[in-house]
Structure 1
Amino acid sequence: MRPYHQVPIQECGEPLVAIPLELFAVEFPHPYEKLGAPYGEHSPYFLRQSLVDSLIAAQNYLQLLRPDWRIQIFDAYRPVVVQQFMVDYTFAEAVRERGLVEAELSATQRQEIWQEVYKIWAEPSLDEKTPPPHSTGAAVDVTLVDETGEVVNMGSPIDELSERSLPDYYAISDIPEAQQYHGNRLLLCDVMEKAGFKRNPREWWHFSLGDQMWAWLHNQANPDQNFVARYGRLV
């Protein structure tokens, strides 16, 4: 269990709705669909209604600071079956990148790789009390696109299994490029948090609103309050 799984869920029943993709930048085909992720009849470009409204607000904030820049939506709603697919895919890739063979892994090697995978990926749990954030329709992975249509360099790609994924990884570096990466991450966080989102402490790209992580982060910052999650697992 993650610390945020201690937060109770009081499902509000708000529907999943389509994100108006014309307002944002989007990668086509969807990154996980390209890998074969089994979305079935479900679209990755859906979120709860309130999150869609907040994403539009974040885009409007961005326009005030950087005219003609857009938020790029990398991933949004993710059924648990897709979460399982991506966890398994990431594990297999980590094994391959280490030059290992999965069938020949020792128990220690297997445990070490799984620990790395679960630093980034939530467990594909079917327990209604511990849903993966994206499976609630209340989490979204985003980055920025500049006025030329180029993806803004954040210093590491989304989903990278390394310390570079930490939001403040480049904060104390005095290298100009690193400071630019940090500034870009701060800009993204600023516009998203102005719209009500909270950022995952371990991922510069992951933001949520109304799920367990969002409520837990609120409670950490305000111990006298007692936020609960209003969105639980959908599928």
Structure 2
Amino acid sequence: MTVLLSDERITRLPAIDSGEPLVDLHTRGISAQGRQFVRESLADRLAVADSFLPAGVRLHVVEGLRAIESQQEIYHSYLSELRALNPGISDAETHVLASRFVSPVEVAPHVAGAAVDLTLMGEHGPFDLGTPIDATPEQSNGACFFDATNISREARTNRSLLADVLASAGLVNYPTEWWHWSFGDRYWAFVEGRDHAIYGPANRDEVAGLVAGASW
């Protein structure tokens, strides 16, 4: 059974921040949409994963660090969508459903600079991985789940390649989103059997400065 970010086994894990800096992925030679920032060790691991890919194939990061305000906006927007689709649903049920697609702010990996949304890119553009990045479970009929069976053989092969290189570099996948991979956050700590996350929310002033200077 898939463990979601709303699960108390995730939320009760403490985050003891290492103080590691945020770095621009371009400084590690990673293809990214505009300037994207993540924690230094995650950036280094992405560079390692990128080097594992066959010639002509690259990782391409669509989003890394996310401001807390943006995370809140995405979360509450999706809550509203779920309530409209499921009249009468309880707040607790909505919270669980929402966490399949967007993390509650208090445990969100993106606001810690600990996660990336990414895909595979070749000389002719993005690879087929079954759904667009950020396709909701409702929009994709569940095809956004990493192990979904309602995708093509090509998409399954490409997902397997993505998983092979990222897992080999120490990242973990959030299984309801094939594109979401992290290192050092609470979900990583849970999957790896650690007693705490090593990254908490990034400093708001630092994030504000990076967001202001980024071409997003």
- TM-score w.r.t. the length of structure 1 is 0.72
1:108 to 89, 93, 107: 89
The CA deviation at 1:119 is 1.6
Cα contact 2:28–2:44 (8 A) shared by 1: no
- The alignment-based identity, stated in percent, is 29
Q: 1:36 maps to what in 2? A: none
CA distance in 1, matches of 2:33, 2:57: 15
Structure 2: segments with no counterpart, 5+ residues: 1-5, 205-216
Distance 1:47 1:108, change over 3 A: same
The CA deviation at 1:156 is 1.1
Q: 1:203 maps to what in 2? A: 177
**CA-to-aligned-CA distance 1:191-213 (integer Å, 9 cap, x gap):** 11111111112211111111111
The CA deviation at 1:18 is 1.3
Q: 1:231 maps to what in 2? A: 199
2:191 to 205, 208, 217: 217
> Where do 1:49-198 residues align within 5 Å?
49-62=40-53, 66-91=54-79, 106-108=87-89, 115-125=96-106, 131-148=107-124, 150-162=125-137, 163-170=142-149, 178-198=152-172
The CA deviation at 1:7 is 2.1
The CA deviation at 1:8 is 2.3
The CA deviation at 1:118 is 2.7
Distance 1:115 1:218, change over 3 A: closer
CA distance in 2, matches of 1:82, 1:47: 16
Number of matched pairs:
193
Q: 1:210 is matched by which residue type in structure 2?
A: G
Cα contact 2:26–2:32 (8 A) shared by 1: no
Structure 1: segments with no counterpart, 5+ residues: 29-42, 99-104, 126-130, 220-225
Q: 2:38 maps to what in 1? A: 47
User: The residue matched to 2:158 in structure 1 has which SS?
Assistant: helix
Cα contact 2:65–2:111 (8 A) shared by 1: yes
Q: Is 1:15 paired with 2:21?
A: yes
User: The residue matched to 1:230 in structure 2 has which SS?
Assistant: coil
Q: 1:231 is matched by which residue type in structure 2?
A: Y
User: The residue matched to 2:128 in structure 1 has which SS?
Assistant: coil
User: The residue matched to 1:73 in structure 2 has which SS?
Assistant: strand
Distance 1:68 1:82, change over 3 A: same
CA distance in 1, matches of 2:114, 2:94: 28
- TM-score w.r.t. the length of structure 2 is 0.78
The CA deviation at 1:20 is 1.0
User: The residue matched to 1:164 in structure 2 has which SS?
Assistant: coil
